[in-house]
Structure 1
């Protein structure tokens, strides 16, 4: 009989930790959801479809030895240091339930005295400030929900390396990255990562039953995945010589469409976005290649990639372009 798995990483290497999460998700079995806890040394983590050059100060990071990592999920850029604890729910399709998993995190926070609530598209907040953002991705047969919990993060570093667009700041009516987030230790003195980790394990086992501990995923597969994650091709992504760039902001995030148009046809396309759904942008860009650069064709490609709601948003994007 399969049992739930609770695992805490002993590594602070971001590529190793994210690779471990990925392989846990790929190997997930029915009836055996895994909760994986991990902390990274100083790292900026960008969403799957973001442009790292736009989201963070790459040159400064390289000069100061800060890690840069592209994850498998959508969403925006975040800062990791040893004042964060990151959680990953790695589940078979049959067990994946975002509400149930998020409730585990909320109950753990309440166990340590944090009055936490779920807000917005992917955030957890306390005292009106964000302390956690969640993101999601899917593999054949499995799903992952992951997020970071700010416990005693170095807030000065948070704003030092992340770049937030004026559009996002205007949307949130704040003037800096730091004003939107809070450390849990500032709300409840005495909250530590070990204490919160123990509360997460307790809440996880209360929900799913006694968990197996210490079982690691296949090491060779983790090493191969970590090698991919640290490669320049993966981190920096593909850039195209765009002849047109369309930009727009929506309730779900910022979206840029980079197009190479020759003789009226779209020869190449790339979508850059912090939208939570990580699969739609790639599917949309792929559907555009070979199509005439016409609003109607763009909207139809958007419908095939992301459904009617996404098509409506892309129709609005097309109408705003010259």
Structure 2
């Protein structure tokens, strides 16, 4: 077994399109024995999950009017607000080295150094005093894995609530009346905590966790042309907004694993196009759901008969049963 090589990169840019490009580039280019920790910040930004509808998640017009940026990441999960009061972390590694509990412990142990006791709860949140200060998301590509998250240190919540839109279904399911009612800045728990101090603690605990010294990377080590290809895609309208077809039928529901918004185009009684938006953590779920229904007639009885003996995962069974009920209305 080859010895692990730890690397740390701290991009100087606050451009979300570039920082997300650096993250994806490093995931693609990393060697098998490398574990890379990326620590980065974005200026005023809304970052949406891989399968989310941007118009539903944020006030795009106001964000862009105030010189903010909309970015889409490759991982699943929900929309988040970034500003310079927020620190982002990314762990990039092979699947064989991926251990969520270990990665989270690096973050929570670093926080202990700043007198903050935290716990991972639910599907992707880190909480302190019962309030969220970190959202996490995950992505797999072949034998490579990405775990990244946010850390609210001194974020401007008035700006966050101005741009983020939380769906009524999410509010009802979580029993909340506002974003600010369920999130907290780390500064509220320790007024002396700083982003620079947190960065140093995370890097130290990263090295301690794996028992290896890390090498500090610079952006000069990256292939500028390959990085630019990803950057240009990230900033493009097609990537951030997508070619959203005009939909004839739309319905949505919130499941235990996330919200699902299904939009159908029907031609001559057949479902010929499906656009699905979701904040589900598993980005593959959307493609699987599309495959379940594309090409079928918009007929609840036919769909029910086809999937009467379906033996797939419970999440898909739940979607099928809900889908049949919705189609039954048409």
Q: Pick the TM interval, shorter chain.
A: over 0.9
- Are the counterparts in 1 of residues 41 and 84 from structure 2 also a CA contact under 8 Å? yes
Give the drift of 1:272.
0.8
Q: In the TM superposition, what whole-angstrom CA distance separates every residue of 1:41-85 from its partner, at most 9, and x where no partner exists?
A: 000011111110011001111211110001111111100000000
* Cα-to-partner distance string for 1:161-197 (whole Å, 9 max, x where unaligned): 0001111112222211111100001111110000000
8 Å Cα contact 1:51/1:236 also seen in 2: yes
Shift of 1:2: 5.0
Q: Deviations over 1:234-284 (max 9, x none)?
A: 011231222221211111111011111112211111111111101110232
Within the candidate set 277, 281, 288, 1:283 is matched to: 288
- Corresponding residue for 2:135? 133
Instruction: Please state whether the residue corresponding to 1:169 is helix, strand or coil.
Output: helix
- The aligned counterpart of 2:73 is 71
Structure 2 distance, partners of 1:113, 1:316, is: 47
Q: 1:230 aligns with which of 213, 232, 235?
A: 235
Mapped partners of 2:304, 2:162: distance in 1? 38
CA deviation map 1:275-320 (0-9, x unaligned): 110111023224532223344648978x99x942122211332244
Over aligned residues, Cα RMSD in angstroms? 2.0
Shift in CA distance, 24/162, structure 1 to aligned 2, threshold 3 Å: same
What displacement does 1:232 show? 0.3
In 2, Cα distance between equivalents of 1:262 and 1:214: 53
Q: Is the contact between residue 289 and residue 316 of structure 2 (CA under 8 Å) also seen in structure 1?
A: no
Structure 1: distance between partners of 2:285 and 2:92: 21
2:313 aligned to which of 308, 313, 321? 308
The two structures have a TM-score, normalised by structure 2, of: 0.92
Aligned to 1:25: 27
Aligned to 1:44: 46
Aligned length: 320
Of 251, 270, 292, 2:275 maps to: 270
SS at match of 2:33: coil
Indicate which of 235, 238, 241 corresponds to 2:246. 241
- Which position in structure 1 is the counterpart of 2:222? 217
2:208 corresponds to: 206
Distance 2:229 2:304 in 1: 37
Distance 1:31 1:161 in 2: 40
SS at the partner of 2:43? Answer: coil
Question: What is the TM-score normalised by the length of structure 1?
Answer: 0.94
- Aligned positions of 1:96-107 closer than 5 A: 96-107=98-109
Change (3 A) 1:299 1:20: farther
* In structure 2, distance between residues paired with 1:23 and 1:313: 36
In structure 1, which of residues 253, 256, 267 is the aligned counterpart of residue 261 of structure 2? Answer: 256
